[in-house]
Amino acid sequence: MMDSPPLLQDHAGAAPGAQAPPARPRAARRCGSTTLVMPAETSPVWKPTMSPLQQPSQPAFPIVKASFLLTATALLAAGPDALGLDAFFGWDGTMRDTLLLTGLVAWLSALVGLVPVALLGPRGVLPTVTGYFLGMGIRMGACLGAGLLGVYIGGLPAKPVGIALTVFYLPLLLVEVGMVGRYLSHKDAPSASSMPTRAKETHA
């Protein structure tokens, strides 16, 4: 049986006395009567980058723009609300107080409800959703509490208060949902730098 040929050096022609680089890991394969020694293949290594939910820097919620939009929505809703109260119940001092109470409560509760979103928004998508639900609880609690106080303590009629509060509440809610949804859609879109990159590491 013939002896196996000597292994070829990785760097042929190296200067005498020069330090050889570290050898690669080798895998032995037998072919007939000869054993071949081949470098072991390296496997690709995944290097995931930070996900969009974990990015420390997030865009701030546009609280000033949102406040202007909510204020304009409340002013626009006041007109149809006043016309509806006048048409169904007749306009008097009681309807005026009802309109002022429900309008102020719905507007102020909508502004306060955006504070958790503005505070938690820069922390990520999930904190933004949490802040939105916290704000929803604030709005609902404030509107229901003010309506009950106006009816049972202020002596306002229950039906006009419920109708006026609903007319103010729903448009403000739709505007707020639209703004928060637009904010989340911009944050949820991953950028090219946040996508996982695949790097193939090789040993020299």
pLDDT at site 173: 94
Per-residue CA distances from 64 to 59, 109, 194 (Å): 14, 16, 29
Q: Predicted confidence band at 31 (pLDDT cuts at 50, 70, 90)?
A: low
> Tens digits of per-residue pLDDT, 72-127?
999 999 999 999 888 888 888 889 999 999 999 999 999 999 999 999 988 888 99
pLDDT at site 9: 45
DSSP one-letter string for 96-111? HHHHHHHHHHHHHHHH
> Tens digits of per-residue pLDDT, 14-28?
455 555 555 555 555
Domain residues of the chain, as ranges? 58-188
Number of Cβ within a 10 Å radius of residue 14: 12
Residue 186: φ, ψ to 5°: -70, -35
pLDDT at site 93: 85
Q: Is the pLDDT of residue 61 over 60?
A: yes
> Tens digits of per-residue pLDDT, 119-175?
998 888 899 999 999 999 999 999 999 999 999 998 999 999 999 999 999 999 999
Q: Of 7 and 29, which is predicted with more confidence?
A: 29
Number of H helices, E strands in the chain: 5, 4
pTM: 0.63
